[in-house]
Structure 1
Amino acid sequence: MNISALQAHYREKRPKSASFFEQAKNHITGGVNGNLRFFEPFPITFQEAKGAWLFDLDGMRYVDYLLSYGALLLGHGHPSVREAVQRVWQEQGTSSFGATYPLELDMAKELKTLYPSFEQVRFTNSGLEATLFALRLALAFTGKSHIAKFEGHYHGSHDQVLVSVNPDWERAGDPQSPQAIPESYGMSDYYLKHTVVLPFNDWAACETILTKRKDEIGAVILEPMLSGYIAANRDFVMRLRELTKQLGIVLIFDEVKTGFRISLGGAQAFYGVQPDLTALGKIVGGGFPIGVVGGKREILELASPSHSRNRGETVFHSGTFNGNPMSLAAGLATIRHVAQPGTFERIVARTTRLRNEIESLGQHYGIPVKTIGEGTIFNVVLVEGEITNYRDLRFARKDVRLALDFLLMDHGVYSKPLNRFSMSEAHGDEEIRATVDAFERSFAVLKKL
């Protein structure tokens, strides 16, 4: 694929974004406030959003499938969310108490109705903080020193889990016993030595590793669907739940991506499995920063300051903006709106319709396209075989997908290159037609390249 030609065309059509990026690099490290926001030759700079649409500095508009990395299940600026945030100013009069107030209890109760595994909850400011806190609780509860995570799974950028997220194939080691590969410079060897990497969807190998190291491993954390779209086999999840119980290992579901997107009760409702702890984020904040840890009372109570134990025997957790009124009000508005009869089902039906259209067009143009996912999330993968884990992705045509992404942006569809697609309630007939048209025009060009 001649990616350089597509990137040159991309640059030519977006001079204002290019200029902005050059200026930003002088003041903001790398020109972006997060490494994942960058792509070559420069990221688009957006200045406005409405519903399912984004508008950039150069006057171009796009159907948005990034949706703030999946956080906006209702789309941009939904009236229910805007009204809820306005009520915070009118009724609470502040964006942050830094103290207890009634909305915290409202959200806790709401979450417990949708997630039966939640006996108690604590709020954080991000999914990263939620996974960090969940792991700290698990190690305190078990008294063990190691955690286990799965190859290719991302749980935020803290050191304990920033291991073997996107390892090079050559360094990754035996598929049945993956090597712990750091994802960043500056990480202590301690975390590599205390993080055990498991092969996703390979039960025999996981059972062997976990059983052998049961006296060290205090927690297993996983995305029930790798990157939010590659599903674990149902049998794999069921067996993992049973084995971790037997071995005295805390099972943590990272549902930052899948919470409220696979089903209203997340992937755990989809599988019918209750983990010991769950990390939530994204949608639960309705577009505002938030994280949640929910789960078993006996584990979460370790963080209770009212317990009659020494300070050193309490799991510390705090944060100035934990459970702030803006995040909880926006999140409650989102959850209550999407929980109205038929609403979530409509979003799923539209997602399925779009996926079918994309795959049909791929067949028509002879391009091996698969849309992989569940519920309201999917990804577009150019591959012939099945994708069940991180290593299977090496067979996908990343170069073709990257070319497709640049063509889609050229035709008014945006989900950051190589990223998954998330749907929202705002994606209606007009947006789906525009997206299908963009895919058809892009496939027609791909066929000629």
Structure 2
Amino acid sequence: MKVAKFGGSSVANGTQIKKVAEIIKQDQKRKFVVVSAPGKRYADDVKITDLLIAMGETYIKGEQYEGYYADVLARFKEIINELELDLALYAEIEKSIKTVLTEDLPDGMKLDRIKALGEDNSAKIVSSYLCKIGLNARYINPKEAGIIVSDDPGNAQILPESFDKIYQLRDVDGILVIPGFFGYTKEGKLVTFSRGGSDITGAIIAAGVKAEMYENFTDVNSVYTVNPAIVNNPKEISVLTYREMRELSYAGFSVFHDEALIPAIKEKIPICIKNTNNPKAKGTFVVAERELDDHVVSGIASDSGFVIIYVSKYLMNREIGFGRKLLQILEDERISFEHAPSGIDDMSVIIRERNLPPEKEEIVLRRIKEELHPDTVSLQRGIALIMVVGEGLVNTIGVAKQAVSAISNAKINIEMINQGSSEVSMMFGIKEEDLEPAVRSLYQSFFE
């Protein structure tokens, strides 16, 4: 049996949901269907999740929320009308939104419940349409499915005891349509995963039922070697390992949530990334191991919006606990870091810019100076990271030289290099304004 997850673009309107239904009809093994909230119908459109968040935040602040409320209901009604479903479903959706808004709940809990409305109602619509066209389908709530998570709003983690409960879904007749993005704590509290967490739900269900395949349907034919927005018509990737996909997803490949790989990796379930609009395309397979060939580099990922904190102190390497103390300051201020490359007398910490607002920056820098007494401490914003990823990277001579030469040929200065902490990737830090020419030069070097 297979688990098929459909992203926001796949359920954005009635036309797309009809494509989803046809895909499910074509393969009886697709017993488990996980759906996102309706996404963008066109380039300048707004995702329903964004409307829900705006509605929730304005409602909690006591501001005018009615415009967002009307927009959310209009989107759901449009989909229901396009699919010619019973308007009783629309009344049910409207009631669910009103109930969550008026419930007496703490702000954080209320906002999580509001955010989850997109996926929850999307699943009800898809299951209703599958029944309408004659399939034996039913909506199943994540609590009923057995998705038990930690009490960490907006960043829930699946708990181990979930998987035995999810395995029991194998015995349920028909196609089960499950909303992505959220689960329930042991106490019955609804908690969401991180943004884009429907991928995580799909992987959790696939691991729980021990599926033969986890299919992730999106709006591209495959994973590309580089961001198509930067390089025109880049080469497609037919097979990736879990490690390669996780590195690429982390560093900016938005086609797949990087955390979603973890449940699938543990059960070694193959993943296939496919296109809802072109389901016959082969797609990209993500597997535990693959045969290596002459193309050492599988892909080049990039992302912007990083900060580097640089700390230097003579004989740092002899000062026991220096690194721990530095990271402890970040922990105390509830700031997560991405990378921490270091040398004999210096250490850099890379942080996502959104996690270090100016008021936190001032506190962190002051504490570093007062508590660690460094010779130098500096902070640089506007940093972009480029990841060159490939399974054979660590054992291949000359890849680092080729990458550095490509960036140098584009007349771009490298702010930081980190190679060795991962067997399948090397990382370069550059200024954000240099990102696109650097990526193009690397692509030309490795793939053309």
Could you tell me the TM-score, scaled by structure 1's length? 0.29
Could you tell me the TM-score, scaled by structure 2's length? 0.29
Structure with more of its chain in strand, by fraction: 2
